[in-house]
């Protein structure tokens, strides 16, 4: 080294500086994987906690949504039952009205037939009396 124009003290100093830098870089290389492992573990634990919380929250939302939908279903079933009963009542009333209308037509037809027979018979009697 002295042939290049450097003294052995300078060379030793440079060598110690380079060695110190090498030791620092080696320490950093051994510490970084530890730190990165710690960071990865922390991230994974946080991710697990977030997933657990989201499952709990979504389960609560599902329970609330299910209860709401069950309430709506019960209301609609009640409305369906009410409408079925109303339909039965309407059908019954319609049949009763139809029977009344048919009965009224029958009675009207019978009265008309009776009147016509009375008129015919009374006019026949009149004509027979007049002949005598």
Per-residue model confidence as pLDDT tens digits over 108-131: 999 998 888 777 766 666 777 777
Q: Cβ of 80: how many Cβ atoms within 10 Å? A: 10
Per-residue model confidence as pLDDT tens digits over 73-107: 999 999 999 999 999 999 999 999 999 999 999 99
8 with 1: CB under 8 angstroms?
Answer: yes
Q: Tell me how far apart the alpha carbons of residues 28 and 24 are, in angstroms, rounded to a whole number.
A: 6
Prediction pTM value: 0.42
Query: What pLDDT does residue 122 have?
Result: 66
Q: Tell me how far apart the alpha carbons of residues 49 and 85 are, in angstroms, rounded to a whole number.
A: 54
Q: Which two tokens stand for residue 87?
A: 């339909």
Q: Tell me how far apart the alpha carbons of residues 11 and 1 are, in angstroms, rounded to a whole number.
A: 7
């Amino acid at each position: 080294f002295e042939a290049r124009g450097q003294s052995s003290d300078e060379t030793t100093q440079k060598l110690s500086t380079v060695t110190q830098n090498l030791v620092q870089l080696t320490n950093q290389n051994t510490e970084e994987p530890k730190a990165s492992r710690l960071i990865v573990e922390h991230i994974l634990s946080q991710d697990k906690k977030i997933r657990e919380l989201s499952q709990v929250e979504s389960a609560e939302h599902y329970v609330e949504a299910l209860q709401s939908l069950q309430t709506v279903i019960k209301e609609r079933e009640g409305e369906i039952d009410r409408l079925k009963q109303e339909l039965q009542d309407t059908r019954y009333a319609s049949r009763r009205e139809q029977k009344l209308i048919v009965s009224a037509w029958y009675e009207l037809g019978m009265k008309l037939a009776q009147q016509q027979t009375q008129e015919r018979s009374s006019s026949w009697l009149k004509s027979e009396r007049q002949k005598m």
